[in-house]
Amino acid sequence: EKAGYEHFMMKEIQEQPKAVLDTLNSVIKDGQIDLSELGLDEEEIRKISQIYVVACGSAYHVGVAAQYVIEDLARIPVRVELASEFRYRKPILDPNGLVIIISQSGETADSLAALREAKSKGIRTLAIVNVVGSSIAREADNVFYTLAGPEISVATTKAYSTQLIAAYCLAVQFALTRGEITEEYYTELIAEMQTIPDKIRKVLADKERIQWFAAKQANAKDIFFIGRGLDYAISLEGSLKMKEISYIHSEAYAAGELKHGTISLLEDNTLVIGVLTQADLYEKTLSNMVECKSRGAYLCAVTSYGNYSMEDTADFVTYIPKTDAHFATSLAVIPLQLMGYYVSVAKGLDVDKPRNLAKSVTVE
């Protein structure tokens, strides 16, 4: 079943190019995104006044990325909420809003309850779900199926990657329909999305270097992930992967927040992983990394090819191919998944079934 791999997680990491391609192919027809099966016609897309993305864990991290991408491209205000908070805080929902529930399993208790809460208020719901026929898929008004195939490892990888693709497709199509982007940019964005599978393959080809680096971090006590904008969204996911399967305490911070507390935690050789894929924020995060270094941190950076000056500051740099800034999350997450995986392997832990965790959390 593991097709020759030692763990399901590695098998699923390697399946990402195909999972992403299948998901893209399910909605891109003749170079256009077709959302007609989601029951969202142009009229309705134009009417959306507010989007609420509600989810748990990694699916919530997709929501954080989706917020940046949808707001930037489609200019629709987006709120992202943890399902366990949303369901109990008596949310005030705009009747012309759209609630998007994201869930791999479609069975997460809090996400299902949040969906029911939204439905009881008469607001339109759309679920991004991987498991066909699951409770969330059955109850939502409409479903965008991710085509990741069965995911066995508790730590999500390929489902996360396909959820991101679903979010990009919504953002790009909403942007065109609402007149926020030109036809030309729309075509470019779609063409760029179609290059993601190959670019993921490229990042995966560099896995031995990451394995080497990760093996040296097995004794780390704390790891900090920092980034700005979409790089903050990726940091959240990188940090969760790390703590979930390697049992190393780790935190993700918006890089600008370091000075507001966190930096006092840095000691000699504390590992700080900076994510720098957003050109307009590069210098800002770089200066935060320099600050960490001067407090003794050991620095790793994930950045795009071309940013070679990063090697003057960081102790270890891993590069991702260039892409449209909105889609960089899909590439930068790969080295972070690999780091979590290889640290866990180096520590001899049960990668696919980390202690105290379940694949699908059906109790609140």
- Catalytic center residues: 359
Contact region with ligand M6R (CB under 6 A), list: 7-15, 149-157, 174-182, 262-270 = 149-157
What is the rounded distance in angstroms from the CA atom of residue 172 to the CA atom of residue 165?
A: 10
Q: Of 295 and 353, which CB lies nearer to ligand M6R in the complex structure? A: 353
Residue with tokens 């979930």: 244
Which position among 26, 104, 304, 330 is part of the footprint of ligand M6R (CB under 6 A)? 104
Of the candidates 296, 309, 323, the residue with the CA atom closest to the CA atom of residue 202: 323
CB of 357 to ligand M6R, least distance (A): 6
H or E segment to which residue 26 belongs: helix 16-27
When computed from its CA atoms, the radius of gyration of the chain, rounded to whole angstroms, is: 20
- The footprint of ligand M6R on residues 111-140 (CB under 6 A) is 111
Contact pattern from residue 39 through residue 78 relative to ligand M6R, giving x for each residue in contact according to CB under 6 A and a dash for the rest: -----------------xxxx-------------------
| Residue of 102, 166, 88, 167 lying closest to 136 (CA atoms) | 102
Pairing of strands 97-103, 124-129: parallel
Backbone φ and ψ of 43, nearest 5°: -55, -50
CB under 8 A, 24+ apart: contacts of 304-312: 304/276, 304/277, 304/279, 304/328, 307/276, 307/282, 310/276, 310/286
Residue of the chain from 14, 50, 142, 360 that contacts ligand M6R (CB under 6 A)? 360
Residue (135 or 285) nearer to ligand M6R, CB: 135
Which residue's CB comes closest to ligand M6R?
57
- Binding segment for ligand M6R (CB under 6 A), chosen from 20-28, 103-111, 170-178, 342-350, is 103-111
CB of 57 to ligand M6R, least distance (A): 2
9 binds ligand M6R (CB under 6 A): no
Question: Which residue number, 130 or 304, has a Cβ lying nearer to ligand M6R?
Answer: 130
Stretch that binds ligand M6R, among 30-38, 91-99, 148-156, 200-208 (CB under 6 A): 148-156
Does residue 231 touch ligand M6R according to CB under 6 A? Answer: no
Closest approach of ligand M6R to the CB of residue 175, in Å: 26
Q: Minimum Å distance from CB 134 to ligand M6R? A: 9
Q: Which 238-267 positions form the footprint of ligand M6R (CB under 6 A)? A: 240, 244
Q: Give me the least distance between CB of 129 and ligand M6R, in Å please.
A: 8
237/125 Cα distance (integer angstroms): 25
Select from 203, 50, 193, 202 the least CA-distant residue to 124.
50
CA distance 224 to 253: 7
Stretch that binds ligand M6R, among 36-44, 101-109, 113-121, 213-221 (CB under 6 A): 101-109
Beta-sheet strand order (sheet of 124-129): 78-82, 50-55, 97-103, 124-129, 142-145
Shortest Å, Cβ 49 to ligand M6R? 26
Rounded Cα–Cα distance for residues 230 and 320 (Å): 15
Say whether residue 151 binds ligand M6R (CB under 6 A): no
Sequence-distant (6+) residues with CB within 8 A of 343 are: 214, 215, 217, 218, 220, 242, 245, 246, 248
Mark the segment that binds ligand M6R (CB under 6 A) among 153-161, 250-258, 294-302, 303-311.
153-161
Residue 108 touches ligand M6R, criterion: CB under 6 A: yes
Choosing from 156, 246, 270, 277, the residue that interacts with ligand M6R (CB under 6 A) is: 156
The yes or no reply on residue 155 touching ligand M6R (CB under 6 A) is: yes
Interface residues toward ligand M6R, by CB under 6 A: 56-59, 103-105, 108, 111, 154-156, 240, 244, 360-361
